Structure 1
Amino acid sequence: MVRKLYRNYFKNNVFLKMILLYSGITIVTIITLSYLMFRSMSQSIVEKELDIQKNAMESVSRYLDDKYVAVKDMTIATYRNESLSSNLSYFLTHPFQEYAQHKLDQYYNENADKSTDVLEFLKDQLNNDADIRNLMLYSADQQNLFAFDQNKHFNMVSTNAAHSYIPDAMAQESTHISLPNVWVRTAINQWDSRLFSIRVPLNDKMTLKNIGQLLVFYDADKISNVLSSYKDKLKGDITVISVDGRVLYDSTSQYYEKSYPYAEQTSLYSNKSTKPADKGMYINKLISNEGGYIVIGAVPKNVISQAYNGLRNTIIMISAICIIISIVIPSLFVANYAKRTNGIIKFTRKVKNGDLKARIEDHGEDELGQISKSFNNMMDDLNLYIDRVFKAEIKQNHTELAALQARINPHFLYNTLEVIRMRAISQGAGDVSEMIYILSVLFKSLVQQKEIHLFKDELEACRLYLELFRIRFKDKFSFQIDIDPIHSSRVVMKMSLQPLIENYIVHGIRTERTDNQLSIRVLQEIGFIKVIIEDNGRGIDPQRLAQIKDSLDKPEEEGGSFGLRSVHARLKLLYGASYGIDIQSELDNGTTVIVWFPDMEGKGNQYV
């Protein structure tokens, strides 16, 4: 079955092979380019989405760093104020009742303002930062915890080591951002899971001895405000974890008080790196060494793929349209060429079967159209050639018949002319007698059949013809023939000069003048014999001369006599395009006719 289909439709059908080959190449090329373009553009979209997530992560990191710096600035502010620093040291190293008495004495003795009061200072910090949920001071000497909530409610909690683990937790020096300590939560009754803690040690300014800790609980949900500007662009989740892997902030709120599932994988990544945690997830990681936290961005691949699903569908649609267009349109063109080619094949079969009137109906200007026109022109030329050859054979037969009839008994004409000549002599008409004699000789030379016709023969015929008119016009006309004897033996076409001389006698001579002259000169040039026929007759009008020159290359009219066109056409036909006639003339100043012949010696029956 396959072989039959191949044999019937593919084996000898070059156009179908071209279509299939082109279609295959086109489909493979478009699919390959579409895949590469989709891969490049989708990767660009993925990178763009991940860059957006990285920017959001950096915003979160800047927020946390700002809070970390803000807590440090609180301690620096206390050190810069001598009175406040002194009061803070006194506050952390003495019982609260003594500090209260100490401040009261300062008001009475020194008129101190409230800005140097530790508790007022803490309230001011709460006023300055609305993100603070709890602000606490821990006294290492007194083992007391002094706490303010966001509503500025003050609470003092005794954290004696015998009854609380808070002193042990505070003894661990850690300045990292972390989750609030569970014992501190218990002490101040703060159980909100969405908090993160920043702790800074407090030292005595004079002795540099650690006297306590500044502890701040921040609302983790406030981080979401930072991400609000990315709300419509951000894809995936952002999570902040501490160095021990505990969740400080989760944009989805699903990992609070839980272990982050990708904590172990992210520990293997370098800072600011992007890695797939598994086959279905992209992970971005940003580490803060000073703050001791890690910002992680996680986005599922299927979420990012939604960003380029439309692109994929668009590329598939455009690729399909391109494939259809690139196959259908060329196929239509190829089918048209195949149809035209089949028309040419059918035409050749018709011609092969003898239908010479068949023509190809194709008016295109392309290669097939030119081939069709060439075939049609060839058929026209072939038919014309057949007609010409056929008619030429008929003419040749008539010519041969006429020649045979003329050669039946030419002596009858000679004898008749001789009788007339003798009668003219008896009557005393000597000039008539001479003219009849010349005519008889001229007629004999024209009728006589010779194998080789030479220049001397052609010039003798011209001399006899001119002699007739010299006798007729007596002293009004003279002629001169100049030829080197070496040129007399050159072969020449019969009746090639006499018609040109006849044109002068008929059209150029002026009978009212007595100085009519005609000269014939035969010259030799390289490869040519040049004959110059020059007269001083009427000349030719420039417009008429242009018409004559233009008519030289036109076909000879049926039934026309010998003349310029006849001689010119025969010379080109016999010898080639380099030979023929050239005419120069001025009105009332005579005419010059130049005839170009090949330089050939007689070697048999040549152009008789």
Structure 2
Amino acid sequence: MEQRFNKLITRIRKISVKNRIVFSFNLTSIIPIVLIGIISYFIYFNSVKDKISETTTQSLLLSEMNIDMAIERLESNSIEISFSEDAQYALRNLKKLSDFEIFTLEQKLQIQSAQQFTLTYFVSDVVLFTKDLETITAYGGRNRRLSLDTEFLDNLVKRVRKAGGKSVFAVVEKDRKNPQNKAVLMCRHINDIETGDRLGYIIIAIDSVYFQNICKAGTIGQGSYTMIVDQYNTIIASNTDKYLSGSNFPDKNLLDNLFLGMNDEKSSVCFIDNDKYILNFQELTGEGWFILSLIPYSYLNSETRVISLIMLIIIFICIISAIFFSEIISKSIDKPLQTTLALIEKVNSGDLSEGEYDASVDEVAIVNRSFNNMIKRLSVSMEEIRQTEKEKSDIKWKALMAQINPHFLANTLNSVKWLAHMQNADNIVNLTSALINILQYTFDKEDNTTVEREIQSIKDYITIQEYRYFDKFQSEFNIAEETKELILPRFVLQPIVENAIIHGIAPKRGQGILSINSAVENETLILDITDDGVGMTPERIEQVMMGINQKDRSHFTNLGIRNVNERIKMKYGDFYGVSICSKEGEGTTLRLTLPAVK
């Protein structure tokens, strides 16, 4: 495998760098752009399709609810009319009644039905039929009776008998002169409320415009169709004149599959008259109907056509840009590379003069400048070595002097101390002794010290400060015996003691007390530095911990406290460090916590 890979690399290297760059740039830019464009188009198309299908399904559910509510209301109305005393009487005795009596009964039924259908504007006629199919108009004008031919009425009655008490529906022309004026008939049988025998039938004529309006309200998208169909392949209503009420649905097999439950998906793709549609449907179980929505793919394509056109333009621009920039980039690499190769050939021939200077910042320019610098530095390399050796000698000399000067200062102070002792100047003796001790403490090269030595250094520091502040404060040391040999970093107490004296006790009226205590709790060394000075506000505590300085001459103290805290945390972890407890006007306690180790 590795051998094949090396052979491939060898073949690729036979191609010039410029051509390799152009090819690889186009390959890695054009193909992803095209793939992204195609994938984005299909994702957007499917997203639009899913959104439209989801919206259509919701719209069909709403239409289904409206139709079911209307049919349930009509079912209830038909039952009330059928069981009314006048309807029962008319169906039992129609043959015995005179025309005047029939007219009187029809008037009563008209008044009763009008009360029930006051808000049901879409009901145009209500007709009662005896078993012999003689008619009584219970609702609707007598001069525009619902006209049904005998054959249609016989077939309708047969369907009612088979329905076993359920309502059946059919579509009929209300006006033969105007075939588009259709009515949807709801028919069911009427039984004698006394004997239970069948007395006749009731037909309620519903204006098909009502269902057409529901279909139109549920239609989404230009060129889409919404229709209500029954199990007999009859279109009950639709939103278009292409599929009129009472006509047959163009794909009987599709409807058969729906009624047989062979299409479980509420949204699918179908072909009608060689046109591709998205089919969404809802079943109206009580009526044996389906409400269908057919959204043509041409509508989806129109929705995505603008996006696809924009994508094609973007892809085209990206391809042209990729070719253009690949050519520019390849030249920007190839031209300086050829210049550098020419310089190498010149040096190889023995000419060590500098070549043309390349001021660019890319890698080829760096190689060019590096090669030029290499030629230039060949003539001065020995001088640089000598200068380096001289600088090393100077550094060693300065380091030696840095060690001599503090020792010389300590020795001089020691001479001053003995001179003061000889002259009985005890104050100067004590002051210089403390200063000498502090200087000698600083000479120690170890990073750590013991609590005992750190406390002794603090006592020397306090001695100096007592002379400075003239009995401004008293100091107390309560150092637990078990803490004296514990290890801690050097100079962690001095900045804190300095802060207590300068910012706590010095501004206070009267004499103050500075106490330093140590203890061990749960394997933790605790050092408390407490003063009864002016204290601090919570805001000032936060500033001290962050190292934010007030504008005074002792501003280095706050930085020292922050540095001590950071040193401890860096060395031992975030569990340890410095904490401050203070109350303005009462005093401050700074606590150091460190691991108790020897």
Q: TM-score, normalised by structure 1?
A: 0.54
- Percent identity, please: 12
Give the conservation status (yes or no) of the 8 Å contact 1:274–1:284: yes
Q: Which amino acid aligns with 2:22?
A: I
Give the conservation status (yes or no) of the 8 Å contact 2:137–2:145: yes
Match of 1:47 among 50, 57, 61: 50
Match of 1:354 among 325, 330, 350: 350
- CA distance in structure 1 between the aligned counterparts of 2:265 and 2:76, rounded to whole angstroms: 28
Alpha carbons of 1:99 and 1:272: their partners in 2 closer, same or farther (altered >3 Å)? farther
Structure 2 stretches lacking a partner, 5+ long: 1-11, 410-598
- CA distance in structure 2 between the aligned counterparts of 1:265 and 1:87, rounded to whole angstroms: 46
Give the conservation status (yes or no) of the 8 Å contact 1:146–1:157: no
- CA distance in structure 2 between the aligned counterparts of 1:85 and 1:359, rounded to whole angstroms: 117
Partner of residue 132, structure 1: 123
- Partner-residue secondary structure (3-state), 1:255: coil
Q: Which amino acid aligns with 1:145?
A: T
Q: CA deviation at 1:98?
A: 4.0
Alpha carbons of 1:311 and 1:342: their partners in 2 closer, same or farther (altered >3 Å)? same
- Partner-residue secondary structure (3-state), 2:169: coil
Match of 1:144 among 134, 146, 153: 134
Match of 2:269 among 264, 267, 276: 276
Partner of residue 166, structure 1: 153
Alpha carbons of 1:191 and 1:317: their partners in 2 closer, same or farther (altered >3 Å)? closer
Give the conservation status (yes or no) of the 8 Å contact 2:188–2:201: yes
Give the conservation status (yes or no) of the 8 Å contact 1:139–1:211: yes
Partner of residue 38, structure 2: 35
- Partner-residue secondary structure (3-state), 2:125: strand
- CA distance in structure 1 between the aligned counterparts of 2:368 and 2:289, rounded to whole angstroms: 85
Q: CA deviation at 1:152?
A: 6.6
CA RMSD of aligned residues (A): 4.4
Partner of residue 222, structure 1: 210
Q: Which amino acid aligns with 1:363?
A: A
Partner of residue 260, structure 1: 249
Q: CA deviation at 1:230?
A: 5.5
Q: Which amino acid aligns with 2:55?
A: I
Deviations 1:81-130 (A, max 9, x none): xxx72222112211277499889999xxxxxxx99x42312233443322
Alignment of 1:172-321 (within 5 A): 172-173=159-160, 174=163, 175=166, 178-180=169-171, 194-229=182-217, 233=221, 235-256=223-244, 257-269=246-258, 270=263, 273-278=266-271, 280-282=275-277, 283-321=279-317
- CA distance in structure 1 between the aligned counterparts of 2:223 and 2:99, rounded to whole angstroms: 54
- Partner-residue secondary structure (3-state), 2:210: helix
Deviations 1:432-469 (A, max 9, x none): xxxxxxxxxxxxxxxxxxxxxxxxxxxxxxxxxxxxxx
Q: Which amino acid aligns with 2:122?
A: D
Deviations 1:338-364 (A, max 9, x none): 222222112212222333222342223
Q: CA deviation at 1:335?
A: 2.6
Q: CA deviation at 1:299?
A: 2.9
Alpha carbons of 1:104 and 1:45: their partners in 2 closer, same or farther (altered >3 Å)? closer
Partner of residue 92, structure 1: 91
Give the conservation status (yes or no) of the 8 Å contact 1:272–1:287: no
Partner of residue 375, structure 1: 371
Match of 2:80 among 62, 77, 80: 77
Q: Which amino acid aligns with 1:314?
A: I
Q: Which amino acid aligns with 1:245?
A: N
Match of 1:119 among 110, 116, 120: 110
Q: Which amino acid aligns with 2:226?
A: I
Q: TM-score, normalised by structure 2?
A: 0.54
Give the conservation status (yes or no) of the 8 Å contact 2:172–2:182: no
Give the conservation status (yes or no) of the 8 Å contact 2:228–2:237: yes
Alpha carbons of 1:208 and 1:189: their partners in 2 closer, same or farther (altered >3 Å)? farther
- Partner-residue secondary structure (3-state), 1:179: strand
Alpha carbons of 1:154 and 1:233: their partners in 2 closer, same or farther (altered >3 Å)? closer
Q: CA deviation at 1:245?
A: 0.6
Structure 1 stretches lacking a partner, 5+ long: 1-8, 107-113, 390-552, 557-564, 591-608
Q: CA deviation at 1:215?
A: 0.9
Alpha carbons of 1:289 and 1:234: their partners in 2 closer, same or farther (altered >3 Å)? farther
Alpha carbons of 1:586 and 1:144: their partners in 2 closer, same or farther (altered >3 Å)? closer
- Partner-residue secondary structure (3-state), 1:205: coil
Q: Which amino acid aligns with 1:308?
A: T
Give the conservation status (yes or no) of the 8 Å contact 1:38–1:312: yes
Deviations 1:443-502 (A, max 9, x none): xxxxxxxxxxxxxxxxxxxxxxxxxxxxxxxxxxxxxxxxxxxxxxxxxxxxxxxxxxxx
Q: Which amino acid aligns with 1:291?
A: E
- Partner-residue secondary structure (3-state), 1:216: strand
- CA distance in structure 2 between the aligned counterparts of 1:294 and 1:237, rounded to whole angstroms: 13
Count how many residue pairs are aligned between Structure 1 and Structure 2.
384
1:332 aligns with 2:364: no
- Partner-residue secondary structure (3-state), 1:138: strand
Q: CA deviation at 1:192?
A: 5.1
Q: CA deviation at 1:309?
A: 0.9
